[in-house]
Amino acid sequence: MSNNHLPTIAIGSLGGTISMTQAHGQDGIIPTLSASELISSIPGVSQFATVQASALNQVASIHLKRSDLLAALDWAEQQVAAGAAGVILSQGTDTLEESAFLLDLLWVHEEPLILMGAMRGATAVAADGPANLLNAIQVAASNNSRGRGVLVVMNEQIHYARWVQKKHSLSLAAFVSDVGPAGTIVEGRALYFSAPPKRMTFARPAATTKTVLLWLNHLDEHTELLSQQDILDPLGEKFDGIIFAGVGAGHVSTLTAQWIAKWAKLKAVIICTGTGSGSTSFATYGYPGGEIDLQNHGAIMGGFLSPKKARLLLWIILENGLNPKVAVRDYLGSMIY
C-alpha cells in the first residue's frame, strides 16, 4: 500500500485480545494474528494512510515486561526517524494504561504515539478490534494529534496516557479518564476538546535495574505481619521505592505508618489514593497514618497519580538518578493548570 499524498503510519503489534483467536480443539483464545493480519481486517484503510505493519511481540499483556516496552519505544522512534507521521502499538488491554503512561514519560516527539487494543477477541461477534484500529489510524494520521504525547484510542474515544485507566473488566467502554476523554473520532476525523496539554518527559532508562513495590492498603491490614520486624526489614531492603495505594485520600494504618516512618528515610515512598479516582489530600488529616503524619516522615503524596502510574513514574525517576520529591512535584505540576 503506498500513496505519496497520504501520511505513513507504522503499526507494531504486541499481542493481546485484539490478536487472539481460538484454534480447533484448544481451550480459550490466544494471540495468533500479526499486525498485517489485523490491518487486512479493515476495508478501505488505504484511503486514510500508507500503513506499515511490524510484528513486535505476540503475548497477553500481563506477559509484557518494561524491557519489551523500551524495545517498542526504540522501534517507534525508528519509524518516526524514517518519516512516519504517527505510530500505533496494539496490545492487550489489561496493562495498556501502564504501557501508555510509561511510554508517555519517554516520548519526546511531536508525532503521536497511539496505544490501542480490543475488548473482544478477533473472532467474537461484533469484535471491536477492527473499528478501534481504524480509529487509531485516523487519529495517528491527524495533524490535530501532534504534540499531545501518547494517546489511547478505544471505543471511539481518545484519551491522554496520564489520565486513562481501565475501569471495567469486560465492557467495550472499559477505558475512562477522570477528567473526561481528550477527544473523539467523528466521520474519520480526530477531534479534541482542548489544546495539547503540558508535558514532562524523562531520559530513556538504559536498563531496568530499580524495583518499586506496589502495596494495597485496607481495613485491619496484616496486623500480625506488620509488627514483625524480622519479616519487614528484609522486605524493605529489597526495594528501591514503595508505592502505597492508600485508603481514601491516601491513608494507611498506624502500623504501616510506623513502617513508612522507617523506610521513607532510606527509600522513595509515595502514597496514592487507592480509590481509583481523584487526588490524595495533602494538608487535611492529622491522625497517625493520615497524610500530614506520612509527609512528616518523608513520604510523598501522589496527587492525581494512580498507584500503577506512580510506580512507573518512580521507577523512571530512580533509573535517572533524580530526586524523587522534586521530580514527583514537578510531574504533578505538569498535570494541572
Asked if residue 98 binds ligand DAS (CB under 6 A), the reply is no
Q: Is residue 94 annotated as involved in ligand binding?
A: yes
Q: Which stretch binds ligand DAS (CB under 6 A): 40-48, 65-73, 92-100, 326-334?
A: 92-100
In this complex, which beta carbon is closest to ligand DAS, that of residue 117 or of residue 303?
117
Q: Which stretch binds ligand DAS (CB under 6 A): 91-99, 134-142, 236-244, 268-276?
A: 91-99
Near ligand DAS in 99-118, by CB under 6 A: 117
Asked if residue 57 binds ligand DAS (CB under 6 A), the reply is no
Q: Which of 329, 311, 320 is nearest to 66 (CA)?
A: 311
Task: Check if the beta carbon of residue 246 is closer than 8 Å to that of residue 273.
Answer: yes
**Three-class SS state of 196:** coil
Distances (CA, A) of 176 to 156, 272, 333: 12, 19, 22
Task: Check if the beta carbon of residue 113 is closer than 8 Å to that of residue 151.
Answer: yes
User: Does 284 qualify as catalytic in the annotation?
Assistant: no
Report the C-alpha gap between 292 and 252 in whole angstroms: 12
Q: Angle 324-335/307-319 helices, nearest 10 degrees?
A: 130
Closest contact distance (angstroms) between CB of 188 and ligand DAS is 25
Closest contact distance (angstroms) between CB of 117 and ligand DAS is 5
**Three-class SS state of 90:** strand
Q: Which stretch binds ligand DAS (CB under 6 A): 88-96, 146-154, 188-196, 273-281?
A: 88-96
Which residues are known to be catalytic?
Answer: 17
Residues that bind ligand DAS (CB under 6 A): 16-17, 60-61, 92-94, 117
Could you list the residues known to form a binding site for substrate, using ranges: 61, 93-94
